[in-house]
């Protein structure tokens, strides 16, 4: 199921595209016919995956941060764990993965090393400034999906994603301990611009 690629038929398999890069990136896998005992048919050298992932999201914000208009709006947070800044020349898609809610960064910005970047997911792009970004989609209350992607050969390639279900108001979904293992948990209290490992998690979900 999205964002994982679908195979062409029954008996298909997921194959790693570039073994020299992160194998936890959904965009580094392809659905193809089986090729046991042989080099993967999709093997190629991909451009390096930027060190960036979705660190946290709060879809139903009633008591947390406000935007520049004084509104409590849904928000998401990106994290750059590397020692270098990362260009944000890529797209985000929310609600339906790669559906009509795709949105690209319209404000040129670099995500600084080991920093957390909060983006309001409230469809109010007219409020965007270099200091406060607003996505062109709104996170659905309770349940939804969010993906961080880039374009490769004209097609979206997933860098990271989150699916959330039955998320109560004022709870957030996070990458627990900010590790590459794609561990996702639901938190009672948001932890924007902070290490998620310092928060007490409940309802652990591993994907």
Average pLDDT of the residues in 65-69:
95
Per-residue pLDDT band at 96 (split at 50, 70, 90): very low
Does residue 34 register a pLDDT over 80?
A: no
**100-114, 173-187, 193-207: which has the minimum mean pLDDT?**
193-207
Answer whether residue 178 shows pLDDT above 50: no
The residue extents of the domains of the chain are: 1-46, 53-206
Nearest-angstrom CA–CA distance, 31 and 14: 5
DSSP per residue, 103-137: EE--S--EE-TT-EEEEE-BS-GGG-BTTBEE-SS
Is the model's pLDDT at 71 over the cut of 60? yes
The Cα–Cα gap between 112 and 127 comes to: 22
Q: Which top CATH class is 53-206?
A: mainly beta
Whether residue 180 is predicted with pLDDT greater than 70 in this model: the reply is no
Would the pLDDT of 69 be above 90? yes
What is the C-alpha to C-alpha distance for residues 107 and 190, in angstroms, rounded to an integer?
Answer: 26
Mean pLDDT of 30-47: 84
- Mean per-residue pLDDT for 116-125? 91
Q: What is the pLDDT of residue 201?
A: 44
Q: In the chain, where does DSSP find H-type helix?
A: none
Query: How far is the C-alpha of 202 from the C-alpha of 207, rounded, in Å?
Result: 15
Mean pLDDT for the chain overall:
77
Q: Which residue has the higher pLDDT, 106 or 148?
A: 148
Q: In the predicted model, is pLDDT for residue 203 greater than 60?
A: no
pLDDT for the residue 72: 96
Whether a cis peptide bond, with omega within 30° of 0, leads into 3 is yes
């Amino acid at each position: 199921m999205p964002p994982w690629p679908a195979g062409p038929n029954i008996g298909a398999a997921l194959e790693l595209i570039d073994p020299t890069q992160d194998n936890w990136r959904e965009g580094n896998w392809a659905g193809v016919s089986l090729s046991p005992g042989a080099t993967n048919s999709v093997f190629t050298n991909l451009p390096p995956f930027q060190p960036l992932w979705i660190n946290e999201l709060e879809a139903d914000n009633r008591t947390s941060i406000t935007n520049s208009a004084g509104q409590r709006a849904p928000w998401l947070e990106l994290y750059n764990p590397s020692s270098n800044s990362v260009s944000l020349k890529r797209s985000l898609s929310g609600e339906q993965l790669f559906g009509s809610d795709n949105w690209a960064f319209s404000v040129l910005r670099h995500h600084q090393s080991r920093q957390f970047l909060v983006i309001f997911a409230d469809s109010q792009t007219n409020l965007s400034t270099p200091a406060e970004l607003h996505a062109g989609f709104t996170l659905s209350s309770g349940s939804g999906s969010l993906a961080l992607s880039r374009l490769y050969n004209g097609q979206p390639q997933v860098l990271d994603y989150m699916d959330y279900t039955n998320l109560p108001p004022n709870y957030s979904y996070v990458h627990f301990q900010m590790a590459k293992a794609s561990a996702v948990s639901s938190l009672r209290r948001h932890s924007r611009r902070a290490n998620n490992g310092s928060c007490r998690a409940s309802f652990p979900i591993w994907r």
